[in-house]
Amino acid sequence: MITKQTIDLVFETARLEEVIGEFVQLKKAGSNFKGLSPFTDEKTPSFMVSPVKQIWKDFSTGKGGNVISFLMEHEHFSYPEAIKWLAKKYNIEIEETEQSDEQKQQINERESMFLVSKFAKDYFHDVLMNTQKGRAIGLSYFKERGFREDTIEKFDLGYCKDEWDNFTKAALDKGYDLKYLKSTGLTIVKEGGEKDRMFDRFKGRVMFPIHSMSGRILGFGGRILTNDKKAAKYLNSPESDIYHKSKILYGLYQAKKEIAKQDNCFLVEGYTDVISFHQSGIENVVASSGTALTPEQIRLVNRLTNNITVLFDGDAAGIRASLRGIDLILEQGMNVKVVTFPDGEDPDSFAKSNSDADLKKYLEEKAQDFIEFKVSLLMKDAQNDPIKKAGLIRDIVTSISKIPDGIQREVYVQECARIMDISERVIFSELAQLINKGQKDRSRSQQTQSFQQPLKPVKEPEKPKVDTLFLLEKEIVRILLLYGNEEIELANWVHSQDKYGRPILEKEEYTNTVSNELYLNLQEDEIEFTNETFRDVYFEIIHQLNQDEQISIDRLIASENTEVSSLVTNILMDEEKYELSDWERKEVFVTDISKILPKLVTDAILNLRRVLIEVKINAIIKEAQEAEAEDQAPDFEEVTNYIELKKLLYEKLNRVI
């Protein structure tokens, strides 16, 4: 178990904007940073990071928290794993106490799969570097491919011995459960006979571990080294709870910083393409690992940059088959360029046969926008055939129609008209038809789905009941968090009588801190929060006040209770939300809170009392009705007293009852 001293040091050292900046492209917004949500598909930023408060909030999903909660949400870390990841990043030594058996059992299945995958990565790498067979077979192969040992270390490359169950036996000997060796696909179990037979999935293959954006091992790619025509050249881990091929880009973990720095991402096809580029000094490169490009993969890049450069082998047939990927990139609102290599070359071979400087120069000089690329690729076939040329223009306009931004579409229309020597009017007309057709198709699809569903009688939707008590408790917690340490001028309304003996309220003025004022009033009425999270936050605040006479927001944000941390973050970041919409530039100004804070505090207390009195009155009336039903005499005197008290509260709130 990680010691509290280590956890405190991690929170003191970690910079939220640095950590999140590894996963999301952040831009300055006043005193904060904003970016696209890493949890949803969006075009307008709704994700905000506050360096001052060291908290984040995703307004599109409502998620928020501190640096730990971000890693837990985004990378599915457990709390200890998030601490360890940050400790490693900031070179902090972890101090741990021995875990109990019960704590060890609490590690869930998903975490067990990650643990098994990490062991496999370390084992395969150790076999490659430190065994006779590994160096003779696996390391020799990588050296023949031109990979240096520092590059092999960087990508955690490995080798699985050409033995039926070498890895599986090693894992079982170390205490790893066969259940997770199976679920990760590292071990294949064939049932039958008296005893199940176990096989290493990747036996005889060099290993390419596939990392998540934060560096966790999700799965593996393995390349066979023999000429066995029956076996696949490359074999990937099967789909599992932690490995989804369509949502992963190989090399993203090693490339993410450079992608954000260069504001561009090179997209290649294979593992060795990525590794060779890194060795040539070009690190902002990822691979789709031989799969057709997916929207999920594109969105991973979009968190770091809005620019993708697709690198194609010099194989014309392969290029044509991959054109769909360009349209997908355009649909995501990203800028796309294309580089093609000479016939017979791919990124890996070209990087090896050219100097680092020549490779960089080639990529810069040969980058084309997608219109020039499509024209250069398809114009040879269409050059002397008007029908084919019209088809090519229609193909380019189809790609332009995928672009969500209207201004960008118009710029590309002008470019297409210039290159293809055709009027913009004709292209705009074709573009409008394609966009309208797309809208009609979507509408028709939605209608079809609704027709296929059985008709149900139409009911008036029930209006959700407003939980007034919840809202008032949240308001008190909000005031404590935001203004608890503030000192304010207050007025106390004391019950008195006029000369005719009628009850009146007289004003007494005094000074107090917001936290003391709320605490004393809640204590006086013996009010307890009905919401458990509000109650936890309130108790922690009172504990801090009793110890230090000050509220420490940082301690609440760093709470191991994720519900407390999340609530505190949501309340604090709601104050920053206006920066996303740039209200000040639009001359929409927020009221100066210091002018209304005393009223805010007083109203919060009085309103909570009012609602609690209403709850009490309703409970007494219900008891009286039950007494009447049993022929007992109901006592309404208590109700009358509470109603009088309620009237006084309304007077204080300047309300009419």
pLDDT in tens, 210-237: 999 888 999 999 999 988 888 889 999 9
Continuous H helices in 235-355:
252-262, 271-279, 295-302, 316-321, 323-331, 347-353
- CATH classification code of 109-243: 3.90.980.10
pLDDT of residue 592: 63
Higher pLDDT, 445 or 599: 599
Domain boundaries, the chain: 4-103, 109-243, 252-439, 468-551+591-652
Q: Measured between alpha carbons, how far apart are the two ends of the chain, in Å? A: 58
Given pLDDT bands bounded at 50, 70 and 90, which one contains residue 114? very high
The pLDDT assigned to 573 comes to: 84
What percent of the chain is modeled with pLDDT above 90?
Answer: 35
State the pLDDT confidence band at 282, using cuts at 50, 70 and 90: very high
User: Rounded to whole angstroms, how far apart are CA atoms 407 and 481?
Assistant: 44
pLDDT at 90 over 80: yes
Enumerate residues 6+ apart whose C-beta is below 8 A from 107. 78, 115
Express each pLDDT in 387-402 by its tens digit: 888 888 888 899 999 8
Could you check whether 4-103 and 252-439 share the same CATH topology?
no
Which tens digits make up the pLDDT trace of 292-344?
A: 899 999 988 988 889 999 998 877 666 776 788 899 999 888 999 999 999 88
CATH class of 4-103: alpha beta
Going by C-alpha positions, the residue among 187, 183, 196 that lies closest to residue 123 is: 187
Helix axes 109-130, 166-173, angle to 10 degrees: 120
Q: Would you tell me which CATH number, out of the four given (1.20.1440.230, 3.60.150.10, 3.40.390.10, 3.40.1360.10), belongs to the domain 252-439?
A: 3.40.1360.10
In DSSP notation, 111-165 reads: HHHHHHHHHHHHHHHHHHHHSHHIIIIIIHHHHHTT--HHHHHHTT-EEE-SSTT
The predicted model scores a pTM of 0.71
Alpha helices in 311-423 (DSSP H): 316-321, 323-331, 347-353, 356-366, 370-382, 386-401, 406-420
In order of 256, 432, 557, the CA distances from 209 in angstroms are: 17, 46, 35
Q: Report long-range pairs for 44-51 (Cβ below 8 Å, ≥24 apart).
A: 45/580, 46/580, 48/573, 48/576, 48/577, 48/579, 48/580, 49/16, 49/17, 49/20, 50/16, 50/572, 50/573, 50/576, 51/15, 51/16, 51/17
